[in-house]
Amino acid sequence: MFNPPGLNRICRECYTEPAAVYERLKRMGMSIVTLTDHDSIDGAESLRQYADFFLSEEVTVRMPSGTEMHMGVYGLTERDHAEIQRRRNDFIALLMYLTERKLFFSANHVFSGLTGRREAEDFRWFESYVPAFETRNGQMWPQSNESSARLAARLGKIAIAGSDSHTIAGIGHTFTEVRGARTVDEFFAGLRTGHGRIHGAHGSCGKLTADVFSIVRSLFWDKPWTLAMSPLALLVPAFTAGHWLNEIRFCRKWSAVIERGEKRKRMLWDLDSNFEANWAS
How far is residue 52 CA from its own chain's centroid?
Answer: 21
The pLDDT, as a whole number, for residue 9 is: 64
The pLDDT, as a whole number, for residue 192 is: 94
The pLDDT, as a whole number, for residue 226 is: 87
263-272 pLDDT, tens digit each: 776 655 555 5
35-63 pLDDT, tens digit each: 999 999 998 888 989 999 999 999 999 99
Rounded distance, CA 259 to CA 264, Å? 9
Nearest to 160 by CA among 204, 183, 119, 130: 130
Which DSSP category does 9 fall into? G
254, 115 Cβ separation under 8 angstroms: no
Rounded distance, CA 135 to CA 156, Å? 12
The pLDDT, as a whole number, for residue 61 is: 98
How far is residue 271 CA from its own chain's centroid?
Answer: 38
Q: Partners of 161 in the beta sheet?
A: 136
Model-wide pTM > 0.85: yes
Radius of gyration for the chain, computed over Cα atoms and rounded to the nearest angstrom:
20
Rounded distance, CA 157 to CA 131, Å? 6
The pLDDT, as a whole number, for residue 44 is: 87
Residue ranges in the chain modelled with pLDDT below 70: 1-9, 265-281
CA distances, 26 to each of 23, 33, 50, 81 (Å): 5, 8, 12, 25
Report the topology of domain 7-206+247-265: TIM Barrel (3.20.20)
- Give residue limits of the domains in the chain: 7-206+247-265
The pLDDT, as a whole number, for residue 3 is: 46
* Amino acid letter for position 9: R
Rounded distance, CA 54 to CA 75, Å? 5
Residues in the chain: 281
Nearest to 58 by CA among 74, 45, 79: 74
The pLDDT, as a whole number, for residue 101 is: 97
The pLDDT, as a whole number, for residue 4 is: 46
Residues in Cβ contact with 68 at an 8 Å cutoff, skipping those fewer than 6 apart: 60, 61, 62, 115, 116
Which DSSP category does 168 fall into? G
Nearest to 43 by CA among 29, 30, 53: 53
**Is beta strand 104-107 parallel, antiparallel or unpaired with respect to 132-137?**
parallel
Nearest to 130 by CA among 98, 154, 153: 98
Which DSSP category does 13 fall into? S
